[in-house]
Structure 1
Amino acid sequence: MGFLSVKDIHHVYFTKDQATTALEDISLTIKEGEFISLLGPSGCGKTTLLSIIAGLLKPTYGEVLIDGKTIEKAKSDIGYMLQQDYLFPWKTIEENILVGLQIMNQETDQTIKKALALLEEIGLNGVEKSYPKQLSGGMRQRAALVRTLATNPKILLLDEPFSALDFQTKLKLEDLVSDTLKEYHKTAILVTHDIGEAIAMSDRIYLLSKGPGKITKVFTIPECLRNETPFDARQHPEYSNIFQQIWEELDKLETNPEH
């Protein structure tokens, strides 16, 4: 059994007039410290699956286990990072990064000290008393990362956290997040539309088909890419080969959803 186990997930959305199957027969296992990505056409259920793993949505059928515990018992083990930073504009950066600790009743001198040290570690020293509006988008996402990591979650769920950023900032933040997660040996699941981002950051990529979402293929990223930073991985000769393979599979899914 893996550290994270997703078993036979099936999910149906019901409205007054119809039932729509969003996910069908989704099973996967992730080892501790692994970074995986969910990739697929729009409407393939990537975010629905992430919400189920987070315990925000109860699946119609199936279960998710983290370290052998059900999601209900393991919610404190999960950190969630979204496309928007959702920092409170009326709170300083220091106050924002401590919010999770306060909610989970984990705020101690030691956890505050660790959160502030992490803020400095990712290049945000000196902004503790600043407000979100005084920072760039990339800096705000860094602060959001610190807030997420401050509660020491075992698993990070990343829902397109870089997609609202300009390309240069996005590349820098990919490296920062990748290095930070490796340093703290965190397990991570990334939802993205960006093939390059998935290749550069992941150990494995799960490709989902469109409506209902099923796992159609799993790509294991070669070790020569996994040993590089995301930025350097994009420059590696093997990168373009696997990009082409995934592109072709995605193209088949877009033109022939039943593939």
Structure 2
Amino acid sequence: MSFLQVQDIHHTYFTKASATTALSDISLMVEEGEFVSFLGPSGCGKTTLLSIISSLLKPTQGTVLLENKPVSTSKNEIGYMLQQDYLFPWKTIEENILLGLKLSKQLNEKTKSAAHSLLNQIGLVGVEKQLPKQLSGGMRQRVALVRTLATEPKLLMLDEPFSALDYQTKLKLEDLVSQTLDEFGKTAILVTHDIGEAIAMSDRIFLFSAKPGRIYKTFEMPEVLRNLSPFESRNHDAFQDIFQTIWKELESLEPGKI
């Protein structure tokens, strides 16, 4: 039985004047410890599907199971990391990273110590008493990652977490996040518009077509890339071949071409 099962998801947004189908016939499975990406044109429903998987949005039709249980019952087992870090500006870094633990009633000396240790592991030593405004954008995203991981979620949802960062910081964070998730054995789903990012970080890529969103193709990354860090994989010969293949598929999904 797969770790995550998405079964026959269909979702329509209704207003008084219209009905817009965002997703149609979405079924996929993700294995424990796997890193997958959702890639596709704007409006293909990637973030809608992420919201459904995390039970923030109830689908019009279909089910999502995490470890064979409905995700709606998987309290504290799904973590979310977004494009913006959403740190509370008036709280210290320590208060921010402990917030999830506090809200989920998991805060104790052991979990607090583990959160502090993780902060140190990802290179943020001695920032506990600082405020978010005193840190760079990349450092704040690291804090957001610690806050997400502190509650020990089984599944991580990454919704374009690097898109607001400069390119050099983005590449460094790709490596850091990938290494951290590997060390903790986490399962992750990344939503991105960046083909290179998806290739560099993923085991598999689900390419979506739009209006309504459907899984158009699935790409499995070769083992040689999966064994490299994201930065190293970008410099491998196989990377460019896969990039060109996915680029052409994305171009074919432009309006009027399918």
With the shorter chain as reference, the TM-score category is over 0.9
Q: State TM-score, norm by structure 2.
A: 0.99
Moved >6 Å (runs of 4+): none
| 1:139 counterpart residue number | 139
Q: Which runs of 5+ in 2 are unaligned?
A: none
Show the counterpart of 2:127. 127
Q: Does 1:190 align with 2:194?
A: no
Distance in 2 (alpha carbons) for counterparts of 1:116 and 1:202: 28
Residue 171 (structure 1) aligns with: 171
RMSD of the alignment, in Å? 0.7
Superposition map of 1:52-131 within 5 A: 52-131=52-131
Structure 1 residue 234 displacement after superposition: 0.1
State the percentage of identical aligned residues.
68
Contact (CA 8 Å) 1:54, 1:75: kept in 2 or not? no
What is the distance in 1 between the residues matched to 2:16 and 2:183?
48
Contact 1:55–1:75 under 8 Å retained in 2 = no
| 1:255, distance to aligned residue in structure 2 (A) | 4.1
In structure 2, distance between residues paired with 1:143 and 1:201: 20
Q: With structure 1 as the length reference, what TM-score do the two structures score?
A: 0.99
Amino acid at match of 2:134: Q
8 Å contact from structure 1 (residues 100, 151) kept in 2: yes
Distance in 1, matches of 2:104 and 2:255, equals 46
Name the count of aligned residue pairs: 258
Query: Residue 217 of structure 1 aligns to a residue in which SS?
Result: strand
Query: Matched residues in 2 for 1:213 and 1:243: separation?
Result: 22
Partner of 1:178: helix, strand, or coil?
Answer: helix
1:22–1:213 contact (8 Å) kept in structure 2:
yes
Alpha-carbon separation, structure 1, partners of 2:95 and 2:17 = 46
Q: Deviations over 1:210-242 (max 9, x none)?
A: 110000100000000000000000000000000
- C-alpha distance in 2, partners of 1:255/1:135? 42
AA in 1 matched with 2:3: F
Deviations 1:183-236 (A, max 9, x none): 000000000000000000000000000110000100000000000000000000
State the partner residue of 1:14.
Answer: 14
Structure 1 unaligned blocks of 5 or more: none
